[in-house]
Structure 1
Amino acid sequence: MPKRRESIAELQAKIASLENLRPELGDDIVNQKIDELRARIQASGASAKSRKRASQRGQSLHSGDSSVAVQGDINDSAIFHAQTIVIADRFWRGQTASLPVPDLKQATASYLAYLVDRHNYLSLKGMGVADRIPLRLPLLDVYVPLKARLELPEGETWKRDLSLAGRLPTDEDSQPLRLSEPLPLLNILSQRSGLIILGDPGAGKTTFLKYLALLLARGEGRLVGLEDRLPILLPLAAYANALQEADVRLDDFIAEYFSDIGADHSIGPMLAEALRAGRALILLDGLDEVRDLNLRNTVVERVMDFFAFHRRPGNKFVLTSRIVGYRAVRPSAEGLLECTLVDFDDSEIEEFVQRWMAAIEKQAQGDTDVARGDADQDRRELLDAIYQNAGVRRLASTPLLLTILALMKRQGVTLPERRVQLYDQYVTTLLSTWNRARSLSGRAPSRDLDELQTVRVLAPLALWMHEISPGVGLVKREELGRKLEEIFKEQGSPSPANAARQFLQDVREHAALLLERGPGEFGFIHLTFEEYLSAAALALKGQGEAKPIAEALLRHVGEQAWRETTLLTIGYIGVRQQLSKVAGEVVELLAGSKDGAPGEAAVLAGEAVLDTWPGGVPLQSKDRVLLALAPTMQKAEVHPDLRRRAGLLLGRLGWRPPDLDRFMEIAAGEFLFGAKKDKVRIENRFWIAKYPVTNGQFARFVQAGGYQTRALWSDIGWAWRTGKYDERTLETIERDWLDHRPQTRRNAPYFWYNIELGNPIFPVVGVSWYEAEAYCNWLAKNVVAVPDGYTVRLPNTTEWEFAARGQNGHEYPWGDGFDKTAANTWDSDIQDAGLGGTTAVCTFPQGTSPAGAWDMSGNVWEWTCSWYDDDRRYRVVRGGSWIGYQWFARAAFCNWSIPLTFNDDLGFRVAIAPLESL
C-alpha cells in the first residue's frame, strides 16, 4: 500500500508539472496528457498480484512481449515527449525559415523524441556477457567524459608498457612524456567547428556521438558547452552503401536516411532548414567501417565538400574513425581539427566503476539505501580486482573493457583470479560479436574473421614475440611477415605469403589486436594480449600433457616478463580447456621445483592455484602447493618479498596455522621489567594468545553481529560505535580521528576490505581500543572457557612484557640482539625490500618469545588494557610495528595511543587473565 500511495503521488506531481507547462504546450496537449495520467491513477487500483506481474515484466527485456516490457518506460517518458515541443519551440524561436514554423516545430519534436527513444539506454549488443543479462542502463547515468590529444600517434595506437621487462626505458620509450597534455573532448568540440576523433576499438567513439545526440535531443547541450543545436547522427558505412548505387550528395542522403523513422511529419526538410540556419551538429560515425579504400576516398571527398559548404553558416561537425587506415585518406580542410582519444586514468576508471555499479543496483533494487550500499561494495570489489593485477589494469583503460569487466562482475566471475575468462571474452568480442554489433549502420563487416582460426595464428605468433622480446612487445614488420609465413606454412596453407599478408590486413582492420605501434614496428594493442595468447600457445602445444608445459614454464622461473604468462598458461588449461588434472600436475611440478631463487617456484605455483581455484585444479594439487608454501613463508633464506607473498597466498587459499587459537600458559613468577630491568612479580598465572588476533578470527565476531550487540560493549565503547561520543566536547586529536572515521565506518575494522591488510591470517588492523575490548567480551561469552576468577581481556602492560621477554629480561623476544629476519619492522629484511605492510602472524618462527608467543616484536602495535597516564586519556600499546624501527620493537618499549585510534599498524592480542578493572 505505501508503494501504491507513492506511485499515485508521483503521477499527481506530473499532472501539476503539466499544468505549469500549459502556457507553452497549449490546452489540447496538456489536457490529453493529464487524461492519460488520471487513467493511470485509476488503473493503479488493480490487484497486488497484477501489479507485481506487470512490474516483473517491466524490469526485464527477456520476459515476454517487448511491447509489454517497455510499457512503463513509454508511459514514464510521456511528459518528456511533451517537453520536446517546448525544446522545439525554443530551437526555432526567432528564426526565419522557408517552411511554416509550426510544421518545423512538430517535425523537430518528433525527431527529438525519436533520438531519445533510440539512444536513451546504453547499447550492450555484441558484448557476449551482456547478451544473456537483461540490463537497461541510462546512457547519461553511466557516461564518463573522454579526453584526447591534439595529435596522432606515430603508429596505429599510442605506445604503452614498453619497459615491463625490467629494462631501463630508452628515449624512445619515454616518448609519451613529450606528448601534449590530454584535454577534455567536450572542451575541444566546443571551441572548433570541425573535429575528427580517432581512437582504438572500444575507446568510446560511437558512444560519445550518441551521448551528444541524446544531450541535445533533451535540450541539455548548454550543460557541456554546446548551445541549442539539432544533432544529426548517422553511420558513414550507410552513406558508402548509397554511393555504390549512385553519386548522391550527403545532404540528400541525410534526408533519405531519416525519412522512415515513424514520424508524423517530414524530417528531411526540417533537417535541411537546420543546416541552412547553421544550427546543426553533424555526427558522422565510423570512417574505418568503409573497407574499400577507393570508396573511403570518395566518402571523404563528399564529406569535405559538405563540411566546406555547411560550415559557413555556423554548423558543427564531428567524424570518428579508428586510426588503422585513416592516414591513407586523411582529410584536410580549414577549420578541421584532429584529435586522438587517450586511455582512462585511475580517476576516470574509478568514476566509470562508480557510475556503473550504481546504475546496475538502481535498476535491480530501485533508488534505495540498500541499492546504494550494494553498489558501493561492488565498486570496491571491482576496483580491487582492477588494481591487483597489472594485466587487468592495462586493459581497464578503455570503456569497452571496463564494460565487459562490470558485466562479468555482475555475472559472478571472480576477478582478477579468473582473468583468463576475461581475456578470452575480450578476444572473442573484438574478433566477432562486438565487431559485428558495434556499427551504427547495423552492417556486418565485409570480412568476418574466424575466431578459432585467428587464435590458431595469433597464439604462436604471440609466443614467438614473447620469446624473442619478452616484456617489450615490438617486432619489425619484416620479421613479423616472415614469422606469419612460417606459421601458415606449418598449418598447410597453399600460399603462405599471400595468407600472411591478408591475415595481417584483416586482423588490423577488423579486430585491431595487432597494430603498427611505431614506424616499421608491430605489436599487440596491449601487452596483456601478447601474454594471454602466448599462454594459449603453450597450453595448446602441450596437447594435454603436463610435463612439456611445466618444462617450458620452469625455464623462465624468476623472469618477471614471464610471470603473468605462466599464470595465464595454467589458467588457460584449467579454466579455458577445463583440464583441471593437467593444470594440477603442472602446479605440483612447479611447487616441487628448485628452479629460480629459493621459494620462487612455490610462490608462482600458489599464485596459479589462486587464479584457478576452485575448479581449475584438483583439491589434492592445491593441498600439495600449500605444503610447499608454508615453509617458504617461514624460511629466513627466502627473499622477504616471497615470504610475504607466500603468507598472502596461504591466507587467501584457506590455510590456517593449526594452532591459531592456542593460548600459551605463563606461570606466576618474577621477571626483569622495563629498560631498567626492575624485578617485578606476576602473582597469578595467565595465558597469552600465541598470535595477534587475525582478520579470520575477528571475522567470527563481525559475522556473529558483534557490532550490533550492545551487551558486548562498554558504555563509552557503545557511544563511540553509535556516534554519540562525537557529540562531546573533544580535544583536537580526538576530533581528528573521529572526523576520519564517521559513524557509518564503525561497523567493521577500518581496513576490513583491503585485500592485503584484510588477509585472513594477517593481524586485524584499523581497530580502536573499544573494538578490541568488545571482541574480548564476545570471545569470553561464546568461544573460550575460562577458569573462575579469570576473564578474556587485553593483557595489561606487565603481563604483555613478561610474555614477550621471559624471566631473563631479553631485549627482544628471541634474545638480546636485533635479528632482521625475525620480525617485521621498518629496518628488517621485509621492509628493506620495500614491501610496506603487515605480514602473516605465523611468518617468523625465528622471533618466538620464551613463552612460545609469535609476533610480539614488530608487525603491529598491540593494545593493552593498561592506562599510560594518570588522567586515563591514553592506553598503552606494545611491540612496535612494520612502520617503526627496531628500537620501538624492544620488549621493554612502552608507547601510547588514544582509544579512538585505528591505524594500519595497530592491532591486538588477547589474554586469559585475572579479572581487572579496565
Structure 2
Amino acid sequence: MLSWITAALGGPAQSPSEPPPGTRATGIAENDGSGAVALGDRTVAAGAGGAAIQGNVYGNVAITNVPRAEPDAERDLRVAYLSRVREQCGTLSLAGIDPAAASQRDAESRLRLDAVYTALLTRTPRERAEERDSEVQHRRPDHDEPPLSALEQLDRHPKLVLQGDPGSGKSTFVNFVALCLAGEALGDERTNLRHLTAPLPDGDRDEDQTSQSWSHGALLPVPVVLRDFAATGLPRDGVATAHHLWAFIEATLKAACQAECVDWLRHELRERGGLLLLDGLDEVPEAERRRKQVKQAVEDFVKSFGKCRVLVTSRTYAYQNQGWRLRGFSEAALASFSDGQIRRFVANWYAHAVDSGRLKQEDAAGRAELLKQAIFNRPALYELAQRPLLLTLMASLHAWHGGSLPNKREALYAETADLLLNRWEQRLIQREADGRIQLIQPSLAEYLKVERTQVRGVLESLAFEAHRAQPELTGTADIAEDALAGHLLRLSANPDVNPRLLVDYLRDRAGVLYPRGVGVYTFPHRSFQEYLAACYLTDDDYPDKMADLARADPDRWREVALLAGAKAARGSASTLWLLVEALCWREPDDSVAAIAEVWGAQIAAQAIVETADLSRLSPANQTKLARVRRWLVKLLRDERLPATERALAGDNLAVLGDPRFDAEHWHLPAEPLFGFIEIPAGPFLMGSDRRHDAEADDDECPQHEVNLPGYYLTRWPVTVAQFAAFVEESGFQSKDPDCLKGVANHPVVWVSWHDALAYCRWLNEELRKHARERLVAEKPLSESECRFWQGLAEGSLGINLPSEAEWEKGARGTDGRIYPWGNDPNPNRANYDETGLNGTSAVGCFPGGVSPYECEDLSGNVWEWTRSLWGEDLDKPTFAYSYDSSDGREDLQAPDNVRRVLRGGAFLGDAGLARCAARFHFNPDGRSGVIGFRVVVSPLVFSDR
C-alpha cells in the first residue's frame, strides 16, 4: 500500500511519523479497479486505477489543512456571531481617558483596540526546561528571559484566573483575545493569531524576536461581563447553575438580534469547545449570597461545557481576600508595565494620533520621544507609568498639553477630571455653509445659569454619596439618573430648565460620567470616583471626617484618604500632617491595639510616603513621623493583618526609616547582640520523618540525630542596607550592582556565595573591634552578652556562613518539626508562592513563622547560602544529607565547580520547598534574585586564613 501511494505521488516513501501540528488525518486512498477515490473538501479524483490525494502524506495517512466542510447555514451563523464579537471587542471608548476625545462624538471618541494594545506580562518567571537550576534562576523582568505573558499563561492553563490591580489591563486583554480569535476565524488580515502572538516588548530593545506561544488555534470566543450577569442573570434565591449563565448568554444574543445563533453556539461549545472569557469576577454585589451564586454558576458551567477553556479576571486583592477562589483554576497575576511595554505603548499611542489625523508624523515622533524621556528620567512618573491606566492618562495629557505632565498621581487625576469636565462646559456648535456659527446647545453651566465650580461640587457630592453607599468594594458605583438630575435641578438658577431636556443633555454630553444603561450613570473608572469623593471630603470637616471613615472602613476609604491628603497638601503641606495626626494620634503600647488604630497608622504611613517632603519637617511633624514609625513596627507583628498588609508596612518603614536597625552600627538590628540569637549546644533531629512529611523527596534521608556545639544565628537574613554598609566601608565591588537596588530592609539578593563570604570576613573584623569596646564600656553586660563579646574579642568565636546543620537546627529546634512553626504549611507565616507577594518582603513581617529559638524568615522569602558543599553532580549530592562535619563538606577552599547547599525556599517556591528539611544547591559564583544569606557566630572560624 505504501509503495502504491509513493508511485502515485512520484517520490520516495516517507517513514511513518506524527502529522505536523494543525493538520488533520482524513484517511487512506486505495483503488484496486476502475473508478476513483477523492479525499478532502477540494480533492480531484484520478482516472481508473489511480488516485489523487490533496495534502501531504505522513506514513500511510493522507493529511490536509483544508477546514472541515461546514453547511452554508452553519457557516453564516458563525460569521454573524464572530462579526458581532469583533465589533463589540474591537474598539475602546476614549471618553474618560483621552482628553482630546472629551469634545468628540461617538465614532470619533473611539479607537481601534489593535492600534494601541500592548501585550501584558504576568509576575510568573519563565521556566527554562534546559536549566536544572530553574528554581533559583529568577531573572529580572527586563533582562534575557521576561516573565510569562498573559497570553502564554492562557495557553498553558485550560482554566485560569488572571488577577490584576485596577487599571492593569485585565478587561483590555479579554477584549483583545476575543478580537483576535474572531478575526482569525473571519480571515481578518489586521486582527488575527499573528497579531495576538506578536513578540513581547523587550526591556532594552523595542521588542524580542520570539512570538508568544498559542497552541489552540482560532477558538470560539465567548466574552461575558460578570457584573452584567450578576445584575440580571442570577436567580433571586437559591443555587445558581450553568443554566443561569447560559440563559444570560442566550438573552444577550437575542437582544442583539442573533436568536438564531443560540442553538448553534451551544452545540459548538459542547461538541468542539471554545474560550469562555469571564471579565470582572469581583465586580458583583458584595453580599455573600450573590458572590456564592456567581461562583456556583461559573464552576457549574465549566463542568457542563467541559471542552471549553475558561479565562476569569479579577482584582488581585478581592480574589485573594474575599473568598472568591474557584475550584480547579490556576492563577496568574498581571505585572506592572516593563520598560519595553512602556516604550511600545507610547509609540502605539502617538502612531494612533497620526492615523486619526490629530498629529502629523514628524510631530508625533518627536512627542513620543519626549514622553519616553520624561517617564524614564523622572522616578515619580516612571512609577506611575507602570500602571497601564495611568500611562494612558499620561500619554493623553502629554498629547493634550504638548509635553506638560504632573508627576503625582493625585495631580494626574485632577487634570484629567478638569479636562473631562470641559465636555460639560463646551458649547455644541455647527458651522454653516456660509461660514456662520450656529449654537446647537449651550454649556451645562450656561444652561443651569451657575458657575462651573458649582457643577463640579455636585459631582463631588454624588461621588462621595455613591462611594459610601456602594455595596461592593470594587468597580464603580451606579448613579441613578433621577438623583443626578435632581441634584442639578436644585442647583439651577434657571427657572426655565426642563427636566426632560436636562436628562437628554446628560445622556448626550456625559464626560466625567457616562451612561451604563437606561437611567444609570457611572464614572469612567473607580479612581475618578475615589478622587472626586476625596475632593468632597477635603471641604467637609477635614481631616476628622476623612480620618474617621478611613479608620472604620479602610477597604472602602483608604484610597480616598490618600488622595484627599495629597490634594489638601497641594494647598499647604501642613494639611497632610493634620490628616496624619487625625489618623494616628496615640502612641502605641504593649497592649493589643484596636483594629481602627492599626488601620489608621497604616494609612497615615502610606500618606506620608506618597506625599510628604521628608527633607523639610518641623519638630512637631518629626514627632508625628516617629510615632508612625513605631506603629509600623507594631503592625509588622500583628497577624490580624494579612501578609500583604504587613509587607506593605515593612516597605513603608524602609522609606520612613526603620527603627529596628542601628544606622551607626552597619544597620544591624538594634539589639544587645545585634540580632544574634544563641542556639544552645546539644543534639537535634535532622532530616525528614517521611511518615509525617509527604513533601520529602529522594535527596533527603530519614531523621537522624546530630550533635552541635553552641552557636549564634542571626534573627533575620542580611538586608540590603547591611550589605550596602559593607560595600561602602570596605570598598568591596560586587559583580552584580543590582544587589544594592533592593528595598533597604529586604534580604539582599543577587549576591554570590563569594560575596556572602566576603561580608562575613568584613563583619568578623568589625565586630571583633567592637567587642573590645563593649567589654570595657561602663554599661553592664549580661552573662550571655559577656560570652558573646568575649569570644569575638579573643577569636574563639568567628562569623561565617552557617553550615546546613546549623541552619536547620536554628530553623526547627530539636523536635524534628516540618516547618519552623509546626507541621502544617501556612502562607500567613512565610513568604512562599501561595502567600501571593511575588517578591521579597521586609524581614520580620511574618511573626507567626518564628522558629523555636526566635529566628525568623527561615522559611520562604529567599534561599540562603550555607557554607556546606553539595558536590559537582546536579542530580546526586556528593555529600549526603546524613550530616558529618568531618567529611570535608565545610571546606571553604573547594573549587567553584563544587556547588554549595541552599536552604529555606523562596517567595516563588511552593510550601514543600519552604520546609526545614528541603535542600537545594547552586554554583558558588552564581547570582539570583531569590538567593540571599544570613550569618552565624560559632567556634568554626575561617579555615582558609
State the TM-score, normalizing by the size of structure 1: 0.47
Higher helix share: 1
TM-score (norm 2): 0.46
